[in-house]
Amino acid sequence: MPGAPGGQILRSFVNLNEPTDSCCPQPDAEPTATPACVPVWLILLALVLLFFGAIYFDRHSGWFDPKVYAPYGSADQLAAYQPQSGDAAFAARGKTVYESVCGLCHGSDGLGKPGQAPPLAGSEWVAKDLVSLARVPLAGLNGPISVAGKDWSLAMAPMGAGLSDADLAAVLTYIRGAWGNKSAPITEAEIKSARAAISGNAPSAEELAKLTPPERGHLVFKKYGCFQCHGPDGKGGVSNFNAKTAEQVPSLIYVADGYNKAELLAFISRGERVIPRKNPNGPEPPHFMPKWGGIVTTNELSDLAEFLFSLKPKGDKLDF
Amino acid sequence: MKKMFSSRVYLLSATVLALVWVGAARADDTMDAATKARIEAFEKGPATIDISKYPTALKDNYDLFSQKCTQCHKLSRPINSDYCLPSEWSRYVKRMMRKPGSGISSSEAKQIYEFLAYDSSVRKKAAVDTKLAAETAADQAADQAKIKEVHDKYDGK
């Protein structure tokens, strides 16, 4: 193209539709596209691909299951999904039992709760001989105790009395190895002998037989730590934040008015896991009535009911 | 493909049902299933009592009952409850009254008890008779005396 090609390009930009002075299209003009039909075979091919794509998706995609799509948060999380056996299963069991039984008060971090439960992390009691340590969950604790250089006045129910030897061994082993504690593991056989040693201190059947049912019931009341929430004399008054019952754990001195024996035993056995809330949008009240059925024996329950009935103040009588 | 899709639908519905069932089972942790079902059945019933044929003196008792008991539960619960004997109501009203913060004094509790004993002896007469027949002679006499007492106090007033 002799002359000034730049001028021609510029002109074609300025007015593309204007006929040029030449009779033929300029060889360097913009190409134009004309409409053309998509071939039918291409549409069919696309449909077939879509069809097989759908089948592939159905078979291999996992249907948006998060287990397929979401990555694991960490290697620990991935490990937690693996089936366990032997020592790993024992350790996992200990942690599970701890979280469901001990952790409510002593905390998942083993640091305890001020005024309620002493820490287990760094506690010298955790490192003590097995009988001293196992006595706590098996027989409960009452009164003053020094833990990690701090004085506590405690009341702990025998929370472990209902656990199997295997579970108790697992949870004590977990406590002895967690949060920086470094004491030896405990076996199921050791728990068995510790349990036998501790039960030697309990009142004998002959001693119990000499007591009246309310007296025996009082021992049951102490043994299972009922007083922790209902007070030493069953008069209640322990704070239970956001509970509908005036934010208190109820008093027991009038149960003789409100329950017959069958109703009372049924209630204690069943417990009340969900405490109605004062403010429905507020937090869950910290204390609830545990399910004592299967933990307290039938005879003990009967004695306990007699003790509770005996609490009613003399001369306090309603006229209906 | 069609078959596969419909099996997915079944699978999905089964999952939903399973979840609902698990949820219901979890709710049962708090109460045994029988008690829960019993209370729910009561609460589905009517929430008011037609007291137009009752002695006018009982109206205050009914108002007190409606006001105090609804602080914590639906009124349909006691209204449709299978409690009907005076001894049952006496125990139950005392149990509720002794809950901390109930705000029910002993005289108010008595008024509520009297209303419930009177109302049951009229509205749940058949149930009362059945339960009376099943009682020991001493309990039966005590309950009958209490029904008579509350009728003597209110009838015609």
Query: CA–CA separation, A104 vs A93, rounded Å?
Result: 17
pLDDT above 70 (res B50):
yes
Query: What's the whole-number mean pLDDT along residues B47-60?
Result: 92
| Residue in A58, A244, A254 closest to B72 by CB | A244
More confident residue, A312 or A194: A312
Query: What's the whole-number mean pLDDT along residues A130-142?
Result: 78
Among all residues of chain A, which has the CA nearest to that of B94?
Answer: A258
Q: Does A273 lie at the interface with B, CB-CB under 8 angstroms?
A: yes
User: Would the CB atoms of A318 and B91 count as touching at under 8 Å?
Assistant: no
pLDDT at B16: 60
Lowest mean pLDDT among A12-16, B13-17, B92-96: A12-16
With beta carbons less than 8 A apart as the criterion, state whether B46 and B80 touch.
yes
Highest mean pLDDT, choosing among A135-144, A157-166, A279-288, B103-112? B103-112
Query: CA–CA separation, A34 vs A23, rounded Å?
Result: 21
With beta carbons less than 8 A apart as the criterion, state whether A162 and A294 touch.
yes
pLDDT at A33: 80
Tens of pLDDT, residues A222-233: 778 787 788 878
More confident residue, B55 or A60: B55
pLDDT above 90 (res A62):
no
pLDDT at B124: 94
Percent of the residues in chain B that have a pLDDT greater than 90, as a whole number: 71
pLDDT at B66: 95
Question: Chain-centre distance of CA B19, in angstroms?
Answer: 30
With beta carbons less than 8 A apart as the criterion, state whether B100 and A245 touch.
yes
Check residue A162 and report its DSSP letter: T
Query: CA–CA separation, A97 vs A290, rounded Å?
Result: 16
Q: Binning pLDDT at 50, 70 and 90, where does residue B48 land? A: very high
Place of tokens 């019993």: B38
Q: Binning pLDDT at 50, 70 and 90, where does residue B25 land? A: very low
More confident residue, A31 or A267: A267
More confident residue, B111 or A120: B111
More confident residue, A145 or B129: B129
User: Would the CB atoms of B30 and A276 count as touching at under 8 Å?
Assistant: no
Please give, rounded to a whole number of angstroms, the shortest distance from the CA of B131 to a CA of chain A.
16
Tens of pLDDT, residues B37-47: 888 899 999 99
Check residue B56 and report its DSSP letter: G
Q: Does B25 lie at the interface with A, CB-CB under 8 angstroms?
A: no
Using DSSP's 3-state secondary structure scheme, residue A151 falls into strand
Q: Chain-wide mean pLDDT for chain B?
A: 85
pTM given for the model: 0.57
Between positions 224 and 243 of A, the ones with CB within 8 A of B are 236
Q: Chain-wide mean pLDDT for chain A?
A: 81
pLDDT at B56: 92
User: Beta A150-156 vs A141-147: how paired, if at all?
Assistant: antiparallel
pLDDT at A271: 87
Cα atoms found within 13 Å of the Cα of residue A184, Cβ hemisphere only: 6
Lowest mean pLDDT among A149-163, A296-310, B37-51: A149-163
Tens of pLDDT, residues A232-248: 788 887 888 899 998 88
Query: CA–CA separation, A178 vs A194, rounded Å?
Result: 22
Q: Binning pLDDT at 50, 70 and 90, where does residue A3 land? A: very low
Residues from chain A contacting residue B114 (CB–CB below 8 Å):
320
Query: What's the whole-number mean pLDDT along residues A23-41?
Result: 77
Distances in whole angstroms, Cα of residue A107 to Cα of each of A95, A101, A110: 12, 10, 5
Query: What's the whole-number mean pLDDT along residues A166-182?
Result: 86
Q: Does B32 lie at the interface with A, CB-CB under 8 angstroms?
A: yes
Q: Does A272 lie at the interface with B, CB-CB under 8 angstroms?
A: yes
Query: CA–CA separation, A160 vs A168, rounded Å?
Result: 7
pLDDT at A12: 46
